[in-house]
Amino acid sequence: MTKKVEFFKHNLKQSDIFKINKVIKSNILTTGKCADSVQKLLSSFFNVKYSLLTNSWTNGAVATLLAMGIKKNDEIIIPAMTFIACANVIELLSAKPILVDVDEKTLMISEEQILKKINKKTKAIMIVNLYGNMIDIKKLTNAIKRKTKNKIFIIEDAAHSFESKLHGHNVGRFSDVTIFSFYATKNITTAEGGAIITNNAGLYKKLLMTISHGISKNFTKRFYNKNYNHYQMNILGTKANMPDVLASLIPDQLKKVYYLRDKREEIYNYYKKKLKNSSINFPEFTKGCSPGYHLFPIFVNPKIRDKILFFLNKNLIGCTVNYTSVTKFNYYRKKYKFNSNQFKNSENWGSGTLSLPFYPRINREEQDYVIKKVLEGLKKYE
């Protein structure tokens, strides 16, 4: 086989153009009826009261932090093993990301570490459902309540876990607010996009403003009602709403999420079966978790990680690193001067991990080729 094995292939079809066409014909391109109806679908999918579509996870998170009233020097606890966006959104509000190490096996934020870092300034904790895994948020919430009477928001970063369940419950069940990404390589995609779900009426009321410049009338109400509506602005907002043009791509994908999740599970298990008799390590899932499966990360000796990565690239296999520990990026390293001893698991995983091509459309021949080349690379460099 000589053809390139892409790192990712989306599941949109040429016929999806008809969905976009319908929006174009309606003359309302931005957030309107289509987004409204998709939000209703999401609320019923997750069995929550409120859903809001956003134009990215990042902007949705900024809107969320603004809605929570996060201010300068407020502290938000996040795992060091995550995508930098999680820390960036906190920095953008001049608040302080409090990075903590992750569990050695699951790479999920550690409850023990969280409890150590909670103090009077702690306003929120961001749980990142890395690779589609989840943690027991109910247990965590009870432990936090024993430690402090202060309200601490629990935010779930569900960019990897749209389809995940823990003990039969979807994401969003036990957190204050859950944020999704529909970025180009995510399981559901609108090229750029995301969503926020919550059961908190107060937060939702504020989110309606913070996703829209902080103003009180949304887009369709301002422009398309018969009579012009004056608006007020009382709290600071960003611009995070998703246009109907993109929202139109979601309903069809929603119908297939569990079908595609099961396909990814099959692909996941095949990789694992074929690679498990090597020196490679894999992340473990929490007991009771039915993962949504996003990404296929492996862990090799950090000394040869880049050699393997570039060997696979040379053999036309798309690979990435998900992720380098946030503590290793210059901006954060210089600003916070971390003590590496406190981030051993995150930094070690980040220096030895690489992600293999992983998506429902990868075929057996391509997967076998990737497996063959990974094992060849290990033999060559170990």
Ligand X SMILES: *Cc1c(COP(=O)(O)O)cnc(C)c1O
Residue closer to ligand X, measured from CB, 70 or 158: 158
CA-based R_g, the chain, Å:
21
153 binds ligand X (CB under 6 A): no
CB of 159 to ligand X, least distance (A): 3
List 181, 187, 210, 325, residue binding ligand X (CB under 6 A): 181
Q: Which of residues 79-98 bind ligand X (CB under 6 A)?
A: 82-83, 85-86
**Token pair belonging to 263:** 């396909």
Tell which residue, 98, 12, 97, 92, has the closest CA to residue 60. Answer: 92
CB of 375 to ligand X, least distance (A): 28
**Token pair belonging to 297:** 């990360």
Residue closer to ligand X, measured from CB, 56 or 122: 56
Of the candidate spans 18-26, 104-112, 142-150, 153-161, the one that interacts with ligand X by CB under 6 A turns out to be 153-161
CB of 18 to ligand X, least distance (A): 25
The gap between the terminal CA atoms of the chain, to the nearest Å, is: 25
Q: In whole angstroms, give the CA distance from residue 302 to residue 325.
A: 13
128 binds ligand X (CB under 6 A): yes
CB of 180 to ligand X, least distance (A): 8
Q: In whole angstroms, give the CA distance from residue 97 to residue 336.
A: 10
Q: Which residue is nearest to ligand X (CB)?
A: 57
CB of 294 to ligand X, least distance (A): 8
326 binds ligand X (CB under 6 A): no
List 140, 159, 246, 356, residue binding ligand X (CB under 6 A): 159
206 binds ligand X (CB under 6 A): no
32 binds ligand X (CB under 6 A): no
CB of 278 to ligand X, least distance (A): 27
CB of 157 to ligand X, least distance (A): 5
Residue showing tokens 């600003």: 335
- Number of residues binding to ligand X, judged by CB under 6 A: 14
Segments in the chain forming alpha helices (H): 17-26, 33-46, 57-67, 85-92, 111-117, 137-147, 201-210, 219-223, 244-247, 250-275, 302-314, 330-336, 344-352, 364-381
Three-state SS at 42: helix
Tell which residue, 147, 97, 103, 101, has the closest CA to residue 124. Answer: 97
Three-state SS at 73: coil
Segments in 244-301 forming alpha helices (H): 244-247, 250-275
The site string for ligand X over 38-67 (x = CB under 6 A, - otherwise) reads ------------------xxx---------
Residues that bind ligand X (CB under 6 A): 56-58, 82-83, 85-86, 128, 157, 159-160, 181, 183, 194
